[in-house]
Chain A
Amino acid sequence: MAAPLLEVEGVVKRFGGFTALNRVTLEVRAGERFGLIGPNGSGKTTLINCVAGSLRADEGRIRLAGQDITTLPPHRRTRLGIARSFQIPKPFTSMTVRENLEIPLEYAGHARHGGAAEAADILREIGLHAKAHLRPAGLTQIEMRKLELARAMAARPKLLISDEAMAGLSSAEVDDILAILFRLSAQGITIIMIEHIMRAVMRFSERIVVLDAGERIAEGTPAEIVRHPAVEKAYLGE
């Protein structure tokens, strides 16, 4: 078994009196394709925000490759190798697609000068190279999602977190994004996929953790998860 790349240990996150995450513990192994699912409001995005640093965990520890990152600001975590895409795309609107990639290349990918060639490579790989000179406002929904992934890739991550990169896309487009994620995984990048589209998560993930109401209720292979009684209960009720 490979060593864990990401360790989340007893993480608690409260918003006022509401406990969004209640002692969540999980491990993601290096090179793994990891699925994180759960009904709406179950705490998936909150957990991801705690891992990426946008939110700070109230309790518990988070470690990346053995290093404690619980209190690091997001940009330091990115430099250590965590990159994410956002559920609602957040492109840099005043920049072209290529310039969007040059920010992480320069700030996190250690390409202090330029990075234009690297940006072009990533865009080609993701299939956005024809749009490199456009502003994000001129992109379609799927291109916007691809830009999110491309920009995350430009940070040269060890761990890529894809937060609902496929929500609202057509079936063919979902396959398109899945193919990209499979290719990135084949390059050795560890991927956490958060997704509501079950067909995609089940096909992609080697291992899945299920959250419900801020608690971890199940873990297993896709085949185990679909048969898990607690999961069925969480999604369908009693």
Chain B
Amino acid sequence: MQRASLTVVAGAAIVAAGVALATLRLNPYLYFAGYVILQYVVIATAWNILGGYAGYVNFGTPAFFALGAYTAVALIRSLHAPLPVLILAGGLVSALLGLGIGYLTLRLRGTFFSIATLALSVVLQTMIINWEYVGGSRGISVIRPPGPPFGNYVVFLFTVMLALAVIAVTVARLIERSWVGRGLAALRDNEEAAECMGVPTLRLKLFATTVSGFLLGVAGAPFPYYVTFVEPNSAFNLDYAVNALAMPMIGGTTSWVGPVIGAILLGSAQQLATVTISSELNLFIVGVVLVGFVVLAPEGLLGLVRRLRGR
């Protein structure tokens, strides 16, 4: 119990530090870039609950992220719903998608599951392209409600995303250290053996897809206010699929720290490259780094550290 309260205190401290940072009025670009990196902390952490803990590689990250974003778009257009409602609704709709996809595809193992999730992203994007109400293929401009609670919008959204990142990481950490996390690890290692040792594998996998979907949707919900113009190609960007997978793999997939480290390192490198060299260099960087890690440190930085310590 003491540990749990320590987690809460640590989380609150990080958010407070973020708010303090927000009041500093640094170069606006730093908040802008910081938002993207924090968004990737949420995405990588969410992806890792299914991909890292349970070992089911999801290529459909853009589908969940964009569904969160487009749920927000629909709610902004129809109800002018406030941001907390958008975040919650985006999360819930994506969680439902996760649950549904789980039911349909989790009987598929390994590669087949991954292919199915890839298809999901394509199908959902096609649907959004044909849905005029949320902008269709042309996209839609989103007007921010006047006056954020504090600072300007970039600083405000940065703080919101920081809070979401803390929540996502806390959830991942709680899962990892609970009986659920141990069950997921068992089914990742060997699903048949896990089931025969009393682990309700289907239920745990559905739990993982649902929570993972929820957090991915949560990451997408503030997106319309952040970019103010949402169109399918940016919301369903392949970058999300690649980064969601690359960041945990670089950091290490078996612990909650891995995706956080990976997202901060890779996310920062991408932001830096975007500013200093070109925005097209992003995926190239991911590719090179990923190949390097797969060859030299297949268990990510965490695995590398563990190996060096073991010696």
Contacts and interface: CB of A to CB of B under 8 A. Distances in A.
B185 A94 contact: yes
Interface stretch (A36-44, A84-92, A189-197): A84-92
Given A75-B201, A90-B190, A107 B196 contact: no
A74 to B, nearest CB: 4
B189 interface: yes
Interface in B178-222: 179, 182-183, 185-186, 188-190, 192-202
B200 A75 contact: yes
Contacts, number: 77
Nearest to A94: B189
Contacts of B202: 73
Most buried by B among A53, A103, A154: A103
A54 B193 CA distance: 10
Given A86-B193, A91-B193, A95-B185, A155 B198 contact: yes
Interface string A89-104: 0111111000100111
A75 B188 contact: no
Contacts of A86: 192-193, 196
Given A106-B182, A107-B183, A112-B179, A91 B198 contact: no
A103 B186 CA distance: 7
A159 interface: no
B254 interface: yes
A140 B101 CA distance: 41
B189 A95 contact: yes
Interface string A172-209: 00000000000000000000000000000000000000
Most buried by A among B193, B201, B202: B193
Interface in B116-130: none
Contact of B198 (A93, A99, A107): A107
B198 A75 contact: yes
B179 A75 contact: no
Interface string A59-75: 00000000000000111
B197 A104 contact: yes
Contact of A78 (B186, B190, B196, B254): B196
Interface residues of B, number: 20
A75 B190 contact: no
A54 B196 contact: yes
A83 interface: yes
A73 B189 contact: no
Contact of B193 (A90, A94, A99): A90
A94 B200 CA distance: 19
A67 B180 CA distance: 28
A207 to B, nearest CB: 25
A79 interface: yes
Interface residues of A, number: 29
Per DSSP, chain B at the interface is helix
B195 A54 contact: yes
A92 B186 CA distance: 6
B185 to A, nearest CB: 6
A95 B188 CA distance: 11
A151 interface: yes
B190 A108 contact: no
A6 interface: no
A52 B254 CA distance: 30
Interface string B252-285: 0010000000000000000000000000000000
Contact of A104 (B188, B189, B198): B198
A151 B197 CA distance: 8
A77 B198 CA distance: 8
Contact of A84 (B179, B182, B196): B196
Given A92-B189, A93-B189, A94-B188, A103 B196 contact: no
A103 B197 contact: yes
Given A94-B254, A103-B183, A106-B182, A79 B198 contact: yes
A118 B197 CA distance: 16
Given A95-B186, A155-B197, 6 more contacts: A73-B202, A74-B195, A84-B196, A108-B198, A109-B198, A151-B193
8 contacts: A73-B202, A74-B196, A75-B199, A86-B196, A91-B190, A107-B198, A108-B197, A108-B198
In the A-B complex, the 4 residue pairs with the smallest Cβ-Cβ separation, listed nearest first, are: A108-B198, A107-B198, A92-B189, A90-B193
Interface of B: 179, 182-183, 185-186, 188-190, 192-202, 254
